[in-house]
Amino acid sequence: MSDFTTLELNKDSRGFATLWLSREDKNNAFNAQMIRELILAIDQIAADASLRFVLLRGRGRHFSAGADLAWMQQSAALDYNTNLDDARELAELMYNLAKLKVPTLAVVQGAAFGGALGLISCCDMAIGTREAQLCLSEVRIGLAPAVISPFVVQAMGERAARRYALTAERFSGERARELGLLAEAYPAAELEQQVELWIDNLLLNSPQAMRASKELLREVGHGELTPALRRYCENAIARIRVSPEGQEGLRAFLEKRTPAWQGEPSNKEPRP
C-alpha cells in the first residue's frame, strides 16, 4: 500500500487493513495534506476487493485533536472560494469514508475533537476507552460543525448533537457509549485486547455477506416502507443466497463445519 506522510495504511495477512492517523507530534490533528492523503487512502481501500474490513486508528495518546491550528490560521486568511474548496475536500473525505463497501471500525483513545467526531461517525462501528474525551468544539472558535453534521446527527441522534454542538462540552467515552456514538467503552488497559476480539469476531463472517448487509442497511435505514423498498430487500436476500459465499455458508452450517470464505481452505473439522 502507498506511502503517506501523515498516515499509515497497513494490510494484515488475515485480510483486513488498519488506517492510522500518524501525526503523533501534532496529536493527529487534521491539515490539508492529511485530508488529501485520507481521500487517497480510502480510494485504495475501495479498490481492494480482497479486504474484509478496515480499522481507523490514531497513533499515540490521542485519536485526533481535530483541526491543526496552523492550518486554521492559514484558512482564516483565505477568501470564500478557497475556503469552499477546502470544505469540499473535507466533505469528499467524509462521504467517501461513509460510502465504503467494507465494514469500518474506529478505535478511539485520548482526545477526539471537532472533525475527528466526523470520522468516527462515518464509520459503521466505533469503540474506545471510557476515559476518552470527545468534543464538538467548533463554536468555541466561532465556527460550526457543518460538513460533519449529517454524520454526527446520524450517529448520536439529533437531540444529543444539538446539545454538544451548541455547548461544546467535552464528554467521555463512556458517555459516547450511552449516546450510541461508541458501541463499547473499555478501560484503557483493556483496549488492545478488546480490539483483537473485535477483529477475531469480524474474521468469522463472510466478507461478501458483510458488504451486502452494509448496503442493505444503508438503503433501509432512512427509507419509508414502500413497495420499492420491499422489492429491494427481497432481491437482496435472493442474491446473497445464490452467491458463492451464501452457498458456502449454508453448506458449512448444514455440514457443521467452519465455512471457508474467499478462497480460504475449507476446514472440514466439525464445529464444537
Q: Which residue range forms the structural domain that includes residue 143? A: 7-202
Q: How do residues 95-125 score in pLDDT, each as one tens digit?
A: 999 999 999 999 999 999 999 999 999 999 9
| Of 153, 183, 202, the domain-final residue | 202
- Identify the pLDDT of residue 233: 74
> Which position has the higher pLDDT, 170 or 80?
170
The answer to whether residue 1 sits within a structural domain is: no
Convert the pLDDT of each residue in 200-231 to its tens digit.
999 999 999 999 999 999 988 876 767 887 78
The pLDDT mean for the chain works out to 90
- Residue 1's pLDDT band (cuts 50, 70, 90): low
Grouping H, G, I as helix, E, B as strand and the rest as coil, residue 14 is coil
Same structural domain, 227 and 136? no
DSSP for 150-171?
Answer: HHHHHHH-HHHHHHHHHH--EE
pLDDT surpasses 70 at 6: yes
Q: For residue 212, give the CATH number of its domain.
A: 1.10.12
Verify that 15 and 87 share a domain, yes or no. Answer: yes
**What pLDDT score does 225 carry?**
63
Q: Report if pTM > 0.85.
A: yes
- Are residue 65 and residue 197 in the same domain, yes or no? yes
Domain assignment of residue 48, yes or no = yes
In 3D space, the residue among 115, 109, 126, 146 whose CA is nearest the CA of residue 38 turns out to be 115
Report yes or no on 2 lying in a domain. Answer: no
The torsion angles phi and psi of 225, rounded to 5 degrees, stand at -80, 75
- State whether 241 and 118 are in the same domain: no
Per-residue pLDDT tens over the stretch 126-160: 999 999 999 999 888 888 998 999 999 999 999 99
The b/e string for 35-68 (b: 16+ C-beta within 10 A; e otherwise) is bebbeebbeebbeeeebbbbbbbbbbebbbbbbb
Considering the domain architecture, whether residues 67 and 144 belong to the same structural domain is answered as: yes
CATH number at residue 104: 3.90.226.10
The total of structural domains in the chain comes to: 2
Question: Within this chain, do residues 86 and 57 fall inside the same structural domain, yes or no?
Answer: yes
